[in-house]
Amino acid sequence: MGPLDGLRVIDCSGLIAGGYATMQLADFGADVVFVEHPEYRDPIRDWPPHDDGVSLWWKSLARNKRCVTLDLSDERGQALLRELVADADVLFENFRPGTMERWGLDYATLSEDNPGLVMARISGYGQTGPRRHDPGFGTAAEAISGFANVNGFPDREPLLPPISLADMTAGLFAVQATMFALFERRHSGEGQVVDASLYESLFRLFPGDVEKYDRLGEVSERRGNHHANASPRNVYETRDGYVALSASSQSIFRNLAETVGYPELADDERFATNSARVEHADELDGYIAPWMAERTTEEVLDAFDEGDAVVAPIYDMADVFEDEQYAAREDIVEVEDGDLGPTRTPAALPKLSRTPGAVAHLGAGHGEHNEAVFLKELGLDEATYAELREDGVV
């Protein structure tokens, strides 16, 4: 159950971007049927970390989905996919542009039997343009989107993110656009194609940068943990860890200045306004950083608690598991898994008051739901199904 109960999604995407997108839909009640090749499993099934040979990435990314196998390069596999899509609301795919067309599974063909179909297509560079046929990986998107150029410290090389940022951002954008298309379908009765690319999804996270270059000819540069529009804003080392701090408003900065023992800084022309503090951020850190370094993280948090500064410890996952805010919000839930036993996983987020999402199960086995989908739902007879299995089509 959930707000998307009754929504049927056929997922031919695999890997991270599409897998993350359809996980979001499945978390909120959509019936997601995930299609893999009978022989070549989704690579995520083999990604570490492993628990007794089971990929924990897979268990997380494929949760709440039903798993079937189909060889889409075989005409019989293509025919079965068309049957699956005929009464579906959404089809996700992330093959290299032109692949679905080569298989006769393009939108024009699929929408003949299902005019209301929304086809969400995720690729590195989109379905058009000179790079559309290039292999699309998150690393390339993080490079050409402008993200890597501004990520890191000014005296160091550009820094790639330690997570699959482009893939997961594209997944979120694809979900957003799919819901736009489904809402519009209520009025027109017609589906359409969602064309989401990895590089554009990250590119769109830079409000003002396009306008800045267009009007001023300026490009943003790496600033480390500083922010172009707020100061103080940095990561500071304490005696036993690190904290992140932001205090850009004048009233909060005045409290901060008193807390670190320099109340006069609030009236210093270098720090009297947020824009002035941005220009003199390194000088300001010269007052804040030594005060932080002399105290434990707990002492820093206690001292700033009364000053209304935005300050928080830098957590690792062990800290997350112990944090009372995460616990109070039930951000981590326990699910019984057939392979792993009781396993904790992130809750379905964000939270809805009346029809929240839920995690029913973690990632299923390869082809685990073949019989339920092909025999019971599509109505294949046993002999035909056995032949398709023998021929490696399912």
Question: Would you please indicate which residues are annotated as catalytic (active-site) residues?
Answer: 167
Tell me the CA distances in angstroms from 100 to 89, 91, 124, 169, 213, one per residue in order.
Answer: 18, 12, 15, 23, 38
> Is the separation of the CB atoms in 27 and 357 below 8 Å?
yes
> What distance in Å separates the CA atoms of residue 348 and residue 211, rounded to the nearest whole number?
36
Structure tokens at 126: 């989109």
Tell me the CA distances in angstroms from 331 to 30, 237, 318, one per residue in order.
Answer: 21, 28, 14
Tally of residues, the chain: 394
> What distance in Å separates the CA atoms of residue 279 and residue 229, rounded to the nearest whole number?
10
> What distance in Å separates the CA atoms of residue 250 and residue 94, rounded to the nearest whole number?
48
Could you identify the residue written with the tokens 């292999």? 135
Q: CA 151, 153, 155: angle at the middle one, nearest 5?
A: 135
What b/e readout covers 47-69, taking b as 16+ CB neighbours within 10 angstroms?
eeeeeeebbbbbbbbbbbbbbbb
Q: Which of 124, 149, 145 is nearest to 16 (CA)?
A: 124
